[in-house]
Amino acid sequence: MKILVCVDGSEQSKKALEEAALIAKGCKASDVALIHVYEPKQDVFYSYEGITPEQIELFQEMRKNQKKEAEKILSEALKLLEGKNLKARTILKEGHPSHTIAEVAREEGFDMIVLGSRGLGGLKKLFLGSVSNAVLQEVHNCSVLIVK
């Protein structure tokens, strides 16, 4: 069994990681991968006319810091699994989270995706949406476990 675990550093993500560890050990998973997808927010600024070289440098620095934070999240999640005697690999992607997760799952043939729920309910969930709900809707080739 191949398991893709989505991590973002949140409490829900940590719960999902714990659940994925139990599943991976129980079924002796052949491949466990931790994925973190970050969506750069500053790209939109590049489209404005009159942007200065200093602003471009600032946006590039912001992007570099975003990637460093993403690497830290993956590293901490990997350490948690290694502490449970589980081997895993990491996948770091830049892009739209739900689309990228679904694409990686499809391309690499994962059997299961495990991710945390943001815990939104009622109208908030309807208007804001969530990565977990979007992944659930987009993935058709494997099971999706959303951990609360």
Instruction: Render pLDDT for 75-131 as a digit per residue (tens, 0 to 9).
Output: 999 999 999 999 999 999 999 999 999 999 999 999 999 999 874 444 444 443 488
> Quick one: pLDDT at residue 47?
56
Q: How far apart are CA 1 and CA 6, in angstroms?
A: 16
Q: How far apart are CA 57 and CA 59, in angstroms?
A: 5
Whole-model pTM above 0.75?
yes
Helix 53-82, helix 11-27: angle, nearest 10: 40
Please state, as a whole number, how many other Cβ atoms lie within 10 Å of the Cβ of residue 38.
19
> Quick one: pLDDT at residue 44?
52
Both tokens of residue 2? 């191949």
1-56 tens-digit pLDDT: 999 999 999 899 999 999 999 999 999 999 999 999 998 765 555 555 677 788 77
- Beta-sheet pairing, 89-94 with 31-38: parallel
> Is 2-39+73-147 assigned to CATH 3.30.1360.120?
no
Q: How far apart are CA 76 and CA 50, in angstroms?
A: 40
The runs of H, that is alpha helices, within 28-142 are 53-82, 97-108, 122-128, 131-138
